[in-house]
Amino acid sequence: MIRVEQLSKHFGSIKAVDGISFEVGDREKLILLGTSGCGKTTTLKMINRLIEPTSGNVFIDGKNIFDQSPEILRRGIGYVLQNNGLFPHYTVGENIAIVPQLLKWDGKRIEKRVAELMEKLHLSKDQLKAYPNELSGGEQQRVGLARALVADPPVLLMDEPFGALDNVTRSKIHAEFKALDELKRKTIIMVTHDVQEAFELGDRICLMDKGKIVQIGTPADLLFKPVNHFVQSFLKEQRLQLEFKAVRIKDIWGLLPHAKKTGDTGLNADITVWSGLENFKSQQADHLNITHENETRSVGFEQLITAFYKYQNGRAHE
């Protein structure tokens, strides 16, 4: 869906982005991860031509973006700015309706689509006429997201969309983010410097440093097959929690005991080990029913942890 080739941006002697190449598949969620100043925002802004590159090419859906006018290009790309970027003197409704107004949708259609998104993003109707400074940080982020989604673009670029939130609000929004049907259909490039967020939301992660890509791969690739010491140390502090998030229960299915099958279906084995562990807590259960390919097993907390450690040991010796 998106192909970036040897893309560079130099500001004088600063190589903000230095010859990066990557691809993002249709409906894939790619996370640009890295410390402050490594070139994440610059990369994102070159993809919607808010910044013109020094050299390199970008193709979206096979078309070179430099063969189109930036205005036409941006119609197919939703953009969520760092710190939401809402217009303070526009109401919530007006902020969300900016793109449809530009596209000259009729009033009824705009009203309907805005109402639909407000509902999907759990904003109340009363907030339609509110100004951004009358909303909480989390609500403002949702409005920013609604604004980016309103014309249903196939591609979404998100720059630290959850950056301003506390951890509790953040994990609540992460859960909503993953559940939202409109987002499942989109090809997304999202910037963050939060490793946990990258592991929770990304299909693949592109770890950057000093304008270059250090490693691009699935969360499990980065954890279990780091290309160098930089990758290893970047993930070191939170390693265990990240591993729980990078491994899915289906990955360790063969290591789980063949406990008696139960009649009911249970949780889908597609969930991560981390989310399995959370389910023990939220259901206050000592066993969970988990289903994989038409087989349901009753799995205990210890059994899940043991299988996970066996798997981890195996990966370490690959």
Ligand X SMILES: Nc1ncnc2c1ncn2[C@@H]1O[C@H](COP(=O)(O)OP(=O)(O)OP(=O)(O)O)[C@@H](O)[C@H]1O
Residues found near ligand X in the complex (CB under 6 A): 11, 14, 16, 34, 36-42, 193
Q: What, of Mg ion, ligand X, none, does residue 210 touch, CB below 5 to 8 Å by kind?
A: none
Query: Which structure tokens are listed for 131?
Result: 């100004």
| Least Å from the CB of residue 32 to Mg ion | 9
CA distance 204 to 27: 12
The count of chain residues that interact with Mg ion, using the rule CB under 5 A, is 1
| Least Å from the CB of residue 144 to Mg ion | 15
| Least Å from the CB of residue 45 to ligand X | 8
249: helix, coil or strand?
helix
| Least Å from the CB of residue 37 to Mg ion | 8
Nearer to ligand X, 14 or 103 (CB): 14
**From start to end of 71-209, where are the E strands?**
77-80, 155-159, 187-192, 204-209
Q: How many residues does the chain have?
A: 318
* 8 near Mg ion (CB under 5 A): no
β-pairing, 55-60 vs 63-64, is antiparallel
Q: What, of Mg ion, ligand X, none, does residue 42 touch, CB below 5 to 8 Å by kind?
A: ligand X
Q: Which of 41, 43, 272, 291 binds Mg ion (CB under 5 A)?
A: 41
Q: Secondary structure of the chain: what % helix, strand, coil (to 5)? A: 45, 25, 30
Nearer to ligand X, 10 or 315 (CB): 10
Nearer to ligand X, 235 or 267 (CB): 235
Nearer to Mg ion, 193 or 310 (CB): 193
Nearer to Mg ion, 8 or 43 (CB): 43
Nearer to ligand X, 51 or 220 (CB): 51
CA distance 12 to 5: 21
| Least Å from the CB of residue 37 to ligand X | 4
Q: Near Mg ion by CB under 5 A, which window of 40-48, 63-71, 133-141, 203-211?
A: 40-48
Q: Assess contact for 39 and 208: CB atoms under 8 A.
A: yes
Q: What, of ligand X, Mg ion, none, does residue 153 touch, CB below 5 to 8 Å by kind?
A: none
| Least Å from the CB of residue 40 to Mg ion | 5
**Burial grade of 312 (CB within 10 A; 0-12, 13-18, 19 or more):** middle
Amino acid residing at 15: K
Neighbours of 109 (CB within 10 A): 11
N-term to C-term CA, the chain: 33
Provide the total of helices (H) and of strands (E) in the chain, helices listed first: 14, 13
Nearer to ligand X, 38 or 165 (CB): 38
Amino acid residing at 218: T
| Least Å from the CB of residue 189 to ligand X | 13
Binding site residues, Mg ion, CB under 5 A: 41
